[in-house]
Amino acid sequence: MMKKNNVKFMQGNEACVAGAIAAGMKFYAGYPITPSTEIAEVSAQLLPKVGGKFIQMEDEIAGMAAAIGGSLAGLKSMTATSGPGFSLKQENIGYAAIAEIPCVIVDVQRGGPSTGLPTAPSQGDIMQAKWGTHGDHPVIALSPSSVRETFDLTVRCFNLAEKYRTPVMLMLDEVVGHMREKIVIPDASEIEVIDRIKPEPGDSNYQPYKVKEGQIVPAMAAYGDGFRFHVTGLIHDESGFPSNSHEVADKLMTRLMKKVEDNLDDIIAFEENHIEDAEVVVLSYGGTARSAKSAMKKAREMGLKVGMFRPITIWPFPEKRVAEIAKNVKAIIVAEMNYGQLVLEVERVVKNAAPIYHVGKINGEVITPDEILAKIKEVL
Amino acid sequence: MSKQVEIRLTGSGGQGLILGGIIMAEAALLDGKNAIQSQSYGPEARGGASKAEVIISEHEIDFPKVEVPDLLLALTQVAAEKYADDIKSDGILLVDSSVSLPEGIVAGKIIQIPILQTAAEVIGKPMVANIIAIGAIQQILNIVSKESLESAVLNRVPKGTEELNRRALAEGYRLVEKY
* Residue of chain B nearest A366, judged by CA positions: B65
| pLDDT band, residue B41 (cuts 50/70/90) | low
Please judge whether B26 and A2 are an interchain contact, meaning their C-beta atoms are less than 8 angstroms apart: yes
SS (H, E, C) A303-367: CCCEEEEEECEEECCCHHHHHHHHCCCCEEEEEECCCCCHHHHHHHHHCCCCCEEEEECCCCCCC
Sequence-ordered list of residues with C-beta below 8 angstroms from that of A225, at least 6 positions apart, any chain: A74, A198, A201
For residue B41, give the CATH number of its domain: 3.40.920.10
Residue A358 φ then ψ, to 5°: -125, 135
**B158 touching A (Cβ < 8 Å):** no
Contact A53, A23 (CB under 8 A): no
Q: Residue B79: name the closest of B113, B54, B53, B49 by CA.
A: B49
> Residue B17's domain spans which residues?
4-175
Kindly report the CATH number assigned to the domain that includes residue A324: 3.40.50.920
pTM of the model: 0.96
The pLDDT-based confidence of B1 (bands split at 50, 70, 90) is very low
Are both A179 and A311 inside the same structural domain? Answer: no
What is the total count of domains within chain A? Answer: 2
Domain-embedded: residue A13: yes
- What is the Cα–Cα distance from B116 to B132, expressed in whole angstroms? 9
A119 lies in the same domain as A23: yes
What pLDDT sits at residue B42?
58
Distance of alpha carbon A19 from alpha carbon A32, whole angstroms:
19
Is A2 part of any domain? Answer: no
Asked which of A41-50, A107-116, B46-55, B116-125 is least confident by mean pLDDT, the reply is B46-55
Sheet hosting strand A180-184, strand order edge to edge: A7-11, A180-184, B34-40, B47-57, B4-13, B71-74, B92-96, B109-113
**Best to test chain B binding among A37, A147, A178, A179 (most B CBs inside 10 Å):** A179
Per-residue pLDDT, B50? 84
Across-strand partners of A169? A105, A141
Considering A155, A190, A225, which residue would you say is the last residue of a domain?
Answer: A190
Cβ proximity of B87 and B67 under 8 Å = no
- Interface contact A111, partner B, CB < 8 A: no
Q: Using a CB-CB distance cutoff of 8 angstroms, which residues of chain B are in contact with residue A291?
A: 62-63
**pLDDT (0 to 100) of residue A4:** 57
CA distance B148 to B24: 9
Orientation angle between helical segments B146-156 and B17-30, nearest 10 degrees: 130
* Beta bridge pairs of residue B37: A180, B54
* A9:B35 CB<8 A: yes
User: Is A37 in CB contact (< 8 Å) with chain B?
Assistant: no
A40-63 burial, b for 16+ CB within 10 Å, e for fewer?
bebbbebbeeeebbbbebeebbbb
Q: CA–CA separation, A115 vs A240, rounded Å?
A: 38
Q: CB contact, 8 Å: A294 with chain B?
A: yes
The set of residues, in sequence order, having a beta carbon less than 8 Å from that of B74 and lying 6+ positions away, is B10, B11, B80, B83, B84, B93, B94, B95, B96, B99
**Do both A181 and A289 map to the same domain?**
no
Residue A287 in any domain: the answer is yes
Give chain B's length.
179
A246 in any annotated domain: no
Count CB atoms within 10 A of the CB of residue A339.
11
Residues A298 and A169 in one domain: no
Q: A3 to chain B nearest CA, in Å? A: 7
Instruction: Report the 3 state secondary structure along chain B.
Output: CCCEEEEEEEEEECCCHHHHHHHHHHHHHHCCCEEEEEEECCCCCCEEEEEEEEEEECCCCCCCCCCCCCEEEECCHHHHHHHCCCCCCCCEEEEECCCCCCCCCCCCEEEEECHHHHHHHHHCCHHHHHHHHHHHHHHHHCCCCHHHHHHHHHHHCCCCCHHHHHHHHHHHHHHCCCC
Which of B26, B65, B156 to substitute to test the interface with A, most A CBs within 10 Å?
Answer: B65
The residues facing A295 across adjacent strands are none
pLDDT of residue B2: 55
Task: Decide if A179 and B26 are in contact by the 8 Å CB cutoff.
Answer: no
Mutate to test the interface with B, among A7, A9, A119 (most CBs of B within 10 A): A9
Q: What is the ipTM of this complex?
A: 0.92
Torsion on CA atoms A296, A302, A303, A307, rounded to nearest 10: -10
Judged by a CB distance cut-off of 8 A, whether residue A1 touches chain B is: yes
Q: Which residue of B has its CA nearest to A3?
A: B30
| Collapsed DSSP state (helix, strand, coil) of residue A183 | strand
- In whole angstroms, what is the distance from residue A365 CA to residue A119 CA? 10
Rounded to an integer, what distance in angstroms lies between the CA atom of residue A138 and that of residue A316? 9
pLDDT at B14: 87
Kindly state whether A290 is in contact with chain B, defined as any CB-CB distance less than 8 angstroms: yes
Is A314 inside any structural domain? yes
Point out the domain boundary residue: A190, A218, A253. A190
A275 and A184 in a single domain? The answer is no
Asked if residues B97 and B72 have their Cβ atoms less than 8 Å apart, the reply is no
Q: Are B3 and B59 within 8 A, CB to CB?
A: yes
- Written as one letter, the residue type at B162 is E
What's the confidence (pLDDT) of residue A277? Answer: 97
Walk along chain A (380 residues) and give the pLDDT tens digit of each residue: 444 578 999 999 999 999 999 999 999 999 999 999 999 999 999 999 999 999 999 999 999 999 999 999 999 999 999 999 999 999 999 999 999 999 999 999 999 999 999 999 999 999 999 999 999 999 999 999 999 999 999 999 999 999 999 999 999 999 999 999 999 999 999 999 999 999 999 899 999 999 999 999 999 999 999 999 999 999 999 999 999 999 999 999 999 999 999 999 999 999 999 999 999 999 999 999 999 999 999 999 999 999 999 999 999 999 999 999 999 999 999 999 999 999 999 999 999 999 999 999 999 999 999 999 999 999 99
Instruction: Judge whether A325 lies within some domain.
Output: yes
Chain B residue closest to A297 (CA)? B62
H helices within chain A, ranges in order?
Answer: 12-23, 37-46, 60-72, 83-99, 126-131, 147-164, 174-178, 246-261, 264-267, 288-301, 319-326, 342-350, 369-379
Rounded to a whole number of angstroms, the distance from the CA of B132 to the nearest CA of chain A is 22
CB contact under 8 Å between B63 and A291, yes or no, is yes
Q: Answer yes or no: do A182 and B35 touch at CB < 8 A.
A: yes
CB contact under 8 A, A180 and B37: yes
In terms of residue numbers, what domain contains A292?
A: 271-379
Shortest Cα–Cα distance, B178 to chain A (Å): 33
Q: Which residues of A93-117 are buried (b: 16+ CB within 10 A; e: fewer)?
A: bbbbbbbbbbbbbbbbbbbbeeebb
Average pLDDT over residues B86-107: 94
The tally of domains found in chain B comes to 1
Check CB contact of B39 with chain A, cutoff 8 Å: yes
pLDDT at A6: 87
The verdict on A178 and A275 lying in the same domain is no
Asked if A182 and B29 come within 8 Å (Cβ–Cβ), the reply is yes
Question: Can you tell me the distance from the alpha carbon of B172 to that of B140, in angstroms, rounded to the nearest whole number?
Answer: 10
Residues A178 and A64 grouped into a single domain: yes
Q: What is the CATH number of the domain that holds A156?
A: 3.40.50.970
